[in-house]
Amino acid sequence: MIFSRHMIVAVAASLACTVSLAQVDEGIRKKAEETCGSCHGPGGAKPAMPETPKLAGQQYEYLIHSLKAFRDGTRESPLMGAMAKPLSDADIISLSRYYSSQSGLRTRY
Ligand code: HEC
């Protein structure tokens, strides 16, 4: 009896953990697609214009560095400066993790 109650608690705890991780990923994906996807394309893999770089599969550190540089103005771009200004450090980390984990070499859409 006590044993089975423990089992239920353990299963419930692992389920809750899985769900919250999935929600974090979904939140990042949604933010990226809604905020950045109009120019960089779905998953950052298919930019709308030739002068807009692909982000999919780009190095994590490079994405972090670029977004911080746009935000503080050391890398000048009127467009990306405006896009990066409202991002927190946590946003930059999440977005860089999202785009660096996308497949950049295969066309997925
Ligand atoms: C209105 C169009 C537009 C939107 C929206 C946009 N970008 Fe960009 N992005 C650009 C353009 C154009 C460049 C190239 C700028 C340059 O190099 O001067 C760029 C460059 C970048 C780069 C540098 C990539 C490289 O290869 O050097 C990163 C990183 C980036 N964007 C991330 C984002 C993220 C994250 C978002 C969403 C928060 C976003 N962008 C939203 C147009 C856009």
Is the CB–ligand 1 distance for residue 92 below 6 Å?
A: no
What does the mean pLDDT of the chain come to? 85
CATH number at residue 30: 1.10.760.10
Substitution candidate for ligand 1 out of 35, 83, 99, 102 with most atoms within 8 A of CB: 83
State how far the Cα of 109 lies from the Cα of 44, in Å rounded to an integer.
Answer: 11
Residue 15 within a domain = no
Q: Is residue 14 part of a domain?
A: no
Q: Does ligand 1 come within 6 angstroms of the Cβ of 31?
A: no
Domain annotation covers residue 20: no
- Ligand 1 pocket member 79 (CB < 6 A): yes
pLDDT per position as a tens digit, 55-84:
999 999 999 999 999 999 999 999 999 999
Counting the structural domains of the chain, the total is 1
In a domain, 21, yes or no: no
Asked if residue 108 belongs to a domain, the reply is: no
Kindly state if the Cβ of 63 falls inside 6 Å of ligand 1. yes
Domain that includes residue 96, residue range: 26-100
| Full-model pTM | 0.82
